A and B are shown apart, each in its own frame.
Chain A
Amino acid sequence: MRTSLSEAPAERLPATALKSATAAPLRFGHALYLATNIAILIFLLAPIAIVVVFALNPAPFIQFPPTGVSLRWFEKFFASREFMHALVFSLEVAMLTTVCATLLGASAALAIARGNLPGARLVLATMLSPLMLPAILTGLALFQSYVLLDVGRPLWGLVAGHTLVTIPYVVRTTLAVLHNFDTRLEEAARNLGASPTRTFFEVTLPLIKPGVMAGAIFAFIVSFDQFPVSLFLVTPGSETLPITLFNYLKFDLDGTIGAASVVSILLAFLVVVALDRTVGLRSYVKL
């Protein structure tokens, strides 16, 4: 009559007298835990605050303390045809890459974890290898290959490069979920009469969704932010935002890049929220 541990609601077991004796150190430990985490959050968010401040500071270089509030950099950003085009293009490429990487990566993870592949370890290492090689070499290798094949630098070439460097994330996160997966759920389904296919679609896939979605988020963010692979594969007029920003930085170190960043954050949040609403990150939250 063992209930599956993963399925039962998370009730707390009744506390015993032993626990109250450890209450004071418990509270201190808990306070320390919170303090540490708050400090970490500050570390993570401080640079973003800086970026926002810089985006609003009218001086055309690094300046602290800021001398005022001005929207001129946002104006410059939105007025710039180059930046706008780059922003839209980056979003397009990221969307395409996310779809490809999620489909390919999740299926690869399933194959590795459950497919009884000969040399599964080697296959896994290979799937992760795009991360190991400096992406700039991957980009150059792809560029050289495209030149050899005389295909120019098409959009699919760029998406392929991005997919390569984002698949490892999807594979990694999906495998992490599969590793801790309680297979008795699938056994239970099959015991109840479901076919292997039905079990797969109605039990397995929904349960690995958190891992796949986490991977998809990674894929989107990494693609949107991708630099070295894009470096050789973009063409004039079709440049991704990081490339445009980096080039801009060579000539003008001003608040426009801060404005670009603020806009990117907001946009990317919208995308993540949209992903949540449509596909459901709620399952990610409800462990």
Chain B
Amino acid sequence: MANPADAARPSRRVFMKAGAGVGLGLLGAPYVARAEEPVLNITGWGGKWGDVMSAEIGPAFEKEFECRLRTDTALPFLPKLQASSHSAPIYDVLHTNSNEQWAAAGMGLVEPRIDARLVPNLADVYPYAVSDKIVGVSIFTSAIGLGMRTDKGYTGINSWKELWDRKYDGARGGYVIPVNSLGQCFLMMCGTLFGRGQTDLDAAYAALEKLKPIKLVDFTGAMEKMLLSGEVGLAVIHDSGIYRYDGQNQPIDFVAPSEGVLSLEQVLTITPGSKVKELANAYVNYMLRPDVQKRLAETVWYSPANKTVKLDAKYDAKLLTTPDKVSKLIQVDWKWYNERKDEIDSRVNRIFRA
């Protein structure tokens, strides 16, 4: 090198250019990365579930799978999915209860079966989670039974039929059957309690007539609040709705009636037209991971579907975490129910009018 400055100048220029290039690249990288990041559209509940999903589980999933998770919490989900085209569905994964999943499957909006090869954790779930009463896979469940106030002197409640006792007039709580799966399960239970079985609609209707006066809500959150404020004293509710107030010293308790508890499943399915099927399956698999299951189960008091999950003692005591406990869950025939839903709803609307 004759002149070190000469040699330095071009390399300085090169360095500047390289530096600028790297700088721009760094600035632009997030945009570039975001533009290429796949988006997974899912649905989800609000409340405590939504809080823990958006704070922990969601971001962890996004980080591991380098994607963006968009969660719709604005109910109702199915009409929106129904109105969107099959080739460009607004959701990739649909999370809702069994009844709606069956309706969705019936309309061809979701795939009825999850591929076990793409979702390996499927091998670890309880039989109920993939039974013939389920489309997709159930990732959690809760038990539908009776919730009661402990400060009203109610004793000896161990049967569903207690709800019909006249002494609960003015304190009884139930669900709007057309829109709520707990209500629908309860209707079928009425058929079992007072008739030949889940499909005995006439017995169910007669029983519902006798249930009035009753206060109705459309969602479990509202039922929880009615119990907390004392607006109702004995109500149909799932165990999660009572147990999640554990530690808050609330005068409420859950009763698993002797005739059996019904299963309220949290079910995931994948839409056939999804453009990110691999990611969707990865999400389903992720939600079945023991550590994710444990975190969610302990936050909202759901019973995990993965049988290898070990919950802390106080959760383990109350939730359904053994094959024996789980086998007591009553699953209903949603296919049968959905076929008759219109006429059932017409009838029930007529029964429950003030």
Which residues of A approach B to under 8 Å, CB–CB?
A: 60-63, 140, 143-144, 147, 150, 231-232, 234-237, 239, 243, 247-253
Rounded to whole Å, the gap between the CB of B175 and the closest CB of chain A is 12
User: Are A252 and B228 within 8 A (Cβ)?
Assistant: no
Neighbouring A residues of B80 by C-beta, 8 Å: 143, 232
Contact of B70 among A237, A248, A249 (CB under 8 A): A237
A147 & B84 in contact (Cβ 8 Å cutoff) = yes
The 9 closest A-B pairs by CB, nearest first: A251-B47, A253-B225, A251-B221, A250-B219, A61-B228, A236-B72, A251-B46, A61-B229, A62-B229
Is the Cβ of B73 less than 8 Å from the Cβ of A236?
Answer: yes
Least Cβ–Cβ distance between A220 and chain B, in angstroms: 23
Known: A60-B228, A252-B221. A147 touches B83 (CB 8 A): yes
Quote the shortest CB–CB distance from A65 to chain B (angstroms).
13
How many chain B residues sit at the interface, stated as a range, is 20 to 34
A262-B84 Cα distance, complex, nearest whole Å:
37
The 29 listed contacts between A and B (C-beta, < 8 Å) are A60-B228, A61-B228, A62-B225, A140-B79, A140-B83, A143-B80, A143-B83, A144-B83, A147-B83, A147-B85, A150-B88, A232-B79, A232-B80, A236-B74, A237-B70, A239-B74, A247-B46, A248-B46, A248-B47, A249-B222, A250-B46, A250-B47, A250-B218, A251-B46, A251-B47, A251-B49, A251-B221, A252-B46, A253-B221
B50 close to A (CB within 8 Å)? yes
What per-residue 1/0 map shows which CB atoms of B170-190 lie under 8 Å from chain A?
000000000000000000000
What are the residues of chain A within 8 A of B97 when measuring CB–CB? none
User: B243 in the interface, Cβ–Cβ < 8 Å?
Assistant: no
Instruction: List A contacts of B50 (CB < 8 A).
Output: 251
On chain A, the residues within 8 Å of B88 by CB distance are: 150
Tell yes or no: B45 within 8 A of A by CB.
yes
Among residues 211 to 234 in chain B, which have CB atoms less than 8 Å away from a CB atom of chain A? 218-219, 221-222, 225, 228-229, 231
Closest approach, in angstroms, between the C-beta of B117 and any C-beta of chain A? Answer: 30
**Closest CB-CB distance, B40 to chain A, in whole Å?**
12
B75 CB contact (under 8 Å) in A147, A250, A253? A250
B248 to chain A, nearest CB (A): 9
Q: A231 touches which one: B47, B72, B74, B229 (CB < 8 A)?
A: B74
19 other A-B residue contacts (CB within 8 Å) besides A250-B75, A251-B219: A61-B225, A62-B225, A62-B231, A140-B79, A150-B88, A234-B74, A236-B41, A236-B70, A236-B74, A239-B74, A247-B75, A249-B222, A250-B218, A250-B222, A251-B45, A251-B48, A251-B50, A252-B46, A253-B222
When distances are taken between beta carbons in the complex, the residues of chain A under 8 Å from B225 are 61-62, 253
- Residue from A143, A232, A236, A243 with most neighbouring chain B CB atoms (10 Å): A236
Q: Does B71 contact A (CB under 8 A)?
A: yes
Q: A140: which B residues are within 8 A, CB to CB? A: 79, 83
**In the bound complex, CA of A231 to CA of B76 (Å):** 9
Assembled-state Cα–Cα distance A248/B47 (Å): 7
Write the chain A residue with the least CB distance to B50: A251
CA of A65 to CA of B162, assembled, Å? 32
Evaluate contact between B228 and A236: CB separation under 8 angstroms: no
Q: How far is the CB of A85 from chain B (nearest CB, A)?
A: 12
| Inter-subunit contact A250/B229 (CB<8 Å) | no
Q: Which residues of B contact A239 (CB under 8 A)?
A: 74
